Amino acid sequence: MKWTSEKNKKTLLVLILIFLFIAGLLDILFEGLVFQLLPESVQTFLKF
């Protein structure tokens, strides 16, 4: 059963990757859960 074409799958994949990238940046910016799980040395490097 084909529910999407190949072009739609690529577009969806790109949108998901962009969303994850933005979510990661916001997590680092606001020191969220993933940021807190990083080692202390990486946290100090990312804090500028």
Q: Over the stretch 1-48, which tens digit does the pLDDT of each residue have?
A: 466 677 788 999 999 999 999 999 999 999 999 999 999 999 999 887
Q: Is residue 4 part of a domain?
A: no
**Residue 19 covered by a domain:** yes
pLDDT at 30: 93
Q: How many independent structural domains does the chain possess? A: 1
Mention every residue, 6+ apart, whose C-beta is less than 8 A from residue 35. Answer: 27, 28, 43, 46
Radius of gyration of the chain from its Cα atoms, rounded to whole angstroms: 16
Q: Is the pTM of this model over 0.75?
A: no
Residue showing tokens 């739609």: 8
* pLDDT value, residue 4: 66
User: What pLDDT, on a 0 to 100 scale, did the predictor assign at position 47?
Assistant: 82
Structural domain contains residue 31: yes
